[in-house]
A and B are shown apart, each in its own frame.
Chain A
Amino acid sequence: MAIIQNIGKYFMMMYIVFSKPEKWRIFRKRFFEEMELIGVKSIPIVALMSAFMGAVISLQTASNMDNPLLPSYTIGYITRSSTILEFSPTIISLILAGKVGSNIASEVGTMRVTEQIDALEIMGVNSLSYLVLPKVTSAMVFFPILIIFSIGLSLMGGWLSLLLSGLSSTETYVYGIRFFYRDSDIVYALTKTVVFAFLITSIASYKGYYTKGGSLDVGRSSTEAVVSSSIAILIANFFLTQMFLL
Chain B
Amino acid sequence: MIQVIHVNKTFGENQVLKDVSATFEKGKVNLIIGQSGQGKSVLAKCIVGLHEVDSGEVLYSGRDFTKMDRLQRKEIRQEIGMLFQGSALFDSMTVEQNIMFPLTMFTKMSKKEMLDRVNFCLERVNLAGRNKLYPAECSGGMQKRIAIARAISMNPKYLFCDEPNSGLDPQTSILIDNLIREITYEYGITTIVITHDMNSVIEIGDSVVFINKGQNWWQGDRKSIITTDNKEINDFVFASDFMKEIKEKMKEQ
CB of A125 closer than 8 Å to a CB of B: yes
B82–A125 touching, CB < 8 Å: no
A119 contact from B49, B75, B82, B104, Cβ within 8 A: B82
- How many residues on chain A are close to B (CB under 8 Å)? 14
B88 contact from A23, A119, A124, A125, Cβ within 8 A: A119
CB of B90 closer than 8 Å to a CB of A: yes
- How many residues on chain B are close to A (CB under 8 Å)? 24
B106–A124 touching, CB < 8 Å: yes
Given known A-B contacts A116-B90, A118-B88, A22 and B105 have beta carbons under 8 A apart: yes
B78–A123 touching, CB < 8 Å: yes
B71-107 vs A, CB cutoff 8 Å, 1 = contact: the mask equals 0011111101010111011110000000001101110
CB of A121 closer than 8 Å to a CB of B: yes
A17-52 vs B, CB cutoff 8 Å, 1 = contact: the mask equals 000001100100000000000000000000000000
B148-186 vs A, CB cutoff 8 Å, 1 = contact: the mask equals 000000000000100000000000000000000000000
Residue on A nearest B78 in the bound complex, by CB: A124
B80 contact from A23, A114, A116, A122, Cβ within 8 A: A122
A122 contact from B48, B90, B91, B104, Cβ within 8 A: B48
CA distance A42 to B106 in the complex (A): 34
Residues of B within 8 Å of A22, CB to CB, are 105-106
- In A87-134, the 8 Å CB interface with B consists of 110, 114-116, 118-119, 121-125
B51-78 vs A, CB cutoff 8 Å, 1 = contact: the mask equals 0000000000000000000000111111
B105–A115 touching, CB < 8 Å: no
Identify the 9 closest CB pairs spanning chains A and B, nearest first: A124-B77, A115-B88, A119-B88, A124-B74, A122-B82, A115-B84, A124-B78, A123-B102, A116-B88
Residues of B that sit less than 8 Å from A by CB: 48-50, 73-78, 80, 82, 84-86, 88-91, 101-102, 104-106, 160
Given contacts A110-B91, A119-B82, 19 further A-B contacts (CB under 8 A): A22-B105, A26-B104, A114-B91, A115-B86, A116-B88, A116-B89, A119-B90, A121-B49, A121-B50, A121-B77, A122-B80, A122-B82, A123-B77, A123-B78, A123-B102, A123-B106, A124-B78, A124-B105, A125-B105
